[in-house]
Structure 1
Amino acid sequence: MAVTSLDTHALFVLGDLRAKLVKQFQSRFVYVTEQSAEGIYIAEIDTESALVVDDKPRLELKVGDHFRAAVLPSREGGKFELKFRDIKLTVYGLGEYAYVDIPEGHGIVFKEGHGVMMVFAANEQLQGALTKTLKAAVSKAAKWRKGELVFKASE
């Protein structure tokens, strides 16, 4: 049986990341994007109609039935697991995420393999150039050059 633990450093770094993600869902409209060199998928979440549950003791955030984020123990000391639709993404620490700001709002971009996932809190509901706006936010941290992901982490 594998021994897993949640060390103090992982708890501090990943717990802080979870707290910042919870802040994202305090906005009325949150956009979750999945982007790779092939394209982008965008989902809009209206936090007034989607149940947002911040379970602080278990270090978990749930939004409706489609989004979940939690700090969990692991062999490496701790991991941050995100689930959205069929996507399951694991962040182990610094260098795997970036904070981005544009005039329309702010987001957290998570790197996974050759793609990224962004949770973006909009100042108001995005109209019209939705894809262009969200791609501009992602491009602050991630770009694809000749099909390869170039990622600029925040820390």
Structure 2
Amino acid sequence: MADEVAVTVTINGETVTDRVPARMHAADFLRHRLGLTGTHVGCEQGVCGMCTVLVNGEAVKSCLMFAAQLDGCAVETVESLATGDQLNPLQQAFKDEHGLQCGFCTPGFLMTATALARRGQRLCAAEIREEIAGVLCRCTGYDGIVKAIARHLDETAV
């Protein structure tokens, strides 16, 4: 079909080649084509940040990208963080610091914080709040989330 585009993308370390509708959003490609349902879709307008994934190491809202834009990119979703039943250190920090309640926003925070941690900086609580402002939570009040991210940044800072 003329309205389909071929894409080859590395997702969580595995190369995927597919044909996608030209206007399919990256979030829908990840969720519906690839079954990576950890990428949550909330507002579909880039406001809530629930669909945040890493594209070439940068946190992006996948509802604002077309799947075709992923061609040639490396994408990491929340499914890339844990190894089997073993949580990664950031996920463990979220668990230990009570950084989640309903969990719907958690993948967005985890991926945003993963990109943040890769910068190798320690940040104060106010700076962390500013960095995660693109992801909304309706349950936690953010305190546990900020504590978890701060703990992880302290553990991973260079």
Per the TM superposition, whether the score is higher than 0.5 is no
The structure carrying a bigger strand percent of its residues is 1
TM-score, structure 1 as length reference: 0.28
